[in-house]
Amino acid sequence: MTWKFWLGIFLTGSLWAAPAPEKIKELVQTARSLPPELAADVMLRVAESEQAKDKGWKLELYESAFQLAGSVRQLGPRKLAYNLPDSSQRFEGLAAGLGLDRMSIQLRAIGGILPQQPARARELFGQVTPPEAAKLTCADALVNDPSLYYRMLGEIFEQAYTAEERARQEPVRMLLAVVQSATSSVQLAPLAKLLAEVRMTPQQRELLESTFAARLEAANDDDRTYTYAVMQMQLAPRVNALIRDGVGGGDALSEGWKSFVTRQEKGPRCQGVLTEHSAKLPGTDTNLTAAMPLDRGGTLPSNPDMALHVTPYPADDEARSLTEKVRGLYLTSAGQLYTPEQRKETEWRTKALAALSAVDGWQPGASTNAIDAFHETLALYRGLLQMGAGAEFEQRVLESYVTTLSGSSIATEHPSQWLVELNILLDLARTPRGVPSQGTMRAAILKRLAQSSNPAAEVYSNLETAVPAGVAEWRGMGVK
């Protein structure tokens, strides 16, 4: 082997390392100027793709994303407690579902590092602030959901300790400290699953189960959090499975569980429709029940102090008027869908142009905040864009759409909310994986975004070209 070969190995740091494509590197470098939530998202998406073939560079991306997470404002993951109609709370939930909070970014980076460098992954996991319980009210639509933390805890427990460290019971001591700190049902539900799955000796399992039972005895949640844990996190079946299969703490677990559920069921409950759950209290025929804030018809409970607070769209009279203008382009006065032939007629096209002009000129009133106006305006443009009015009209709508998306300060002030809207637009340019793209709309959207004066829009347009996502793959929200 020549000196040139060994010089190449020295410079790359690996026999197998291949330089990352320069355009991808430039994309990542440009992304560093974006808000930390977006910069980290770009790095993680590239690191998780086939574009990052160099293992050293892949690790650098994960490390950089982890460090960027320290500047992210939202500390932990939250999920929508219930499916909601278009509203301020629904979009807040969609934004939270992107996983661009500090903890989710850190854990996603750790998950990428773990297979190659278990010790480093464990070190970084120790820097993640553990989940903390938050007291909510019945008005809250989003609930803290730290499931990802406990899932990663299990992987660290199983993969990041040496045989010598296991002999000294270091992973068990780590897990015991986490169990001892649990105070909420959204912590107890994933912990119950974790304790049932990880490998331990009977003595270790008995210690952890008895500690878990003591945490059940001490836990006291608000009803919004408790109901979410029961309905969305499978709290009851997970604890009951632990009771059924437990080594030596079954009786203590059973008593702790009864005490916890009784205390919660007798406390203040959020009003709404009671939903039966199949899981029964241990040793009884009593079904767990949990209150939902909205019935299927969308009516609010009678007592507003114990009900979910929802700000539905459209939020004001002018927004409602614009919404009706757009809907009027889909349906005739007789309630029938306009045919493609009818949409070519001068009368319909005049109405469509008037509706577009009205949306372009909309100035939300003082009662509508900037985020709601942002989402409502883009929803109106989407309605116009998807009605099949022909390429010329679609191009005009797309121009207004991207101008609004790119010109908004939401990208820097509320990056996750901005990214929700960008992803909804990009979904029109995406197809399910394995399905050929129709091409025309995709090319128009990506071209217009790439020409935007907004750096984030340009970066994500280039990212979509380099690392394409399937339609709706971004929707990581936790509504089951």
Q: 179, 208 in Cβ contact below 8 A?
A: yes
Q: Is it the case that residue 418 has pLDDT exceeding 90?
A: yes
pLDDT value at residue 368: 80
Q: Is it the case that residue 422 has pLDDT exceeding 80?
A: yes
State the virtual CA torsion across 343, 344, 347, 353 in degrees, nearest 10.
80
Q: Is it the case that residue 415 has pLDDT exceeding 70?
A: yes
pLDDT value at residue 432: 53
Task: Pick the range with the lowest mean pLDDT from 129-138, 277-286, 328-337, 449-458.
Answer: 277-286
Q: Is it the case that residue 278 has pLDDT exceeding 80?
A: no
For 305: left if phi > 0, alpha if psi spans -120 to 50, otherwise beta; the answer is alpha
Residue matched to tokens 């780590």: 174
pLDDT (mean) for 236-256: 84
Task: Pick the range with the lowest mean pLDDT from 112-121, 283-292, 305-314.
Answer: 283-292
- 3-state SS of 10-30 is HHHCCCCCCCCCHHHHHHHHH
The model's pLDDT over 167-182, given as tens digits with 9 standing for 90+, comes to: 999 999 999 999 999 9
Structure tokens belonging to residue 387: 């009605």
Q: How far is Cα 72 from Cα 52, in angstroms, rounded to an integer?
A: 24
Higher pLDDT: 281 or 202? It is 202
Handedness of CA 83, 293, 137, 212 (dihedral sign): negative
pLDDT value at residue 469: 77
Residues forming a β-bridge with 287: 280
Q: Is it the case that residue 462 has pLDDT exceeding 50?
A: yes
Average pLDDT for the chain: 84
Q: Is it the case that residue 247 has pLDDT exceeding 80?
A: no
Q: Is it the case that residue 90 has pLDDT exceeding 90?
A: yes
Q: If we measure between CA atoms, which residue out of 405, 465, 403, 446 comes closest to residue 26?
A: 465
Structure tokens belonging to residue 319: 């927004």
pLDDT value at residue 19: 39
Q: Is it the case that residue 420 has pLDDT exceeding 60?
A: yes
Q: Is 129 exposed, middle or buried (0-12, 13-18, 19+ CB in 10 A)?
A: exposed
Angle CA 129–133–136, to nearest 5: 135
pLDDT classification of 6: cutoffs 50, 70, 90:
very low
Task: Pick the range with the lowest mean pLDDT from 10-24, 108-122, 324-338, 421-435.
Answer: 10-24
pLDDT value at residue 15: 36
The model's pLDDT over 202-227, given as tens digits with 9 standing for 90+, comes to: 999 999 999 999 999 999 999 999 99
Q: If we measure between CA atoms, which residue out of 321, 434, 459, 339 comes closest to residue 388?
A: 339
pLDDT classification of 289: cutoffs 50, 70, 90:
very low
pLDDT value at residue 4: 41
Q: Is it the case that residue 66 has pLDDT exceeding 70?
A: yes
pLDDT value at residue 291: 32
Domain boundaries, given as residue ranges, for the chain: 14-306, 317-466
Which of 299-313, 343-357, 443-457 has the highest mean predicted lDDT (pLDDT)? 343-357
Handedness of CA 203, 204, 205, 209 (dihedral sign): positive
Q: What percent of the chain stands above pLDDT 90?
A: 59
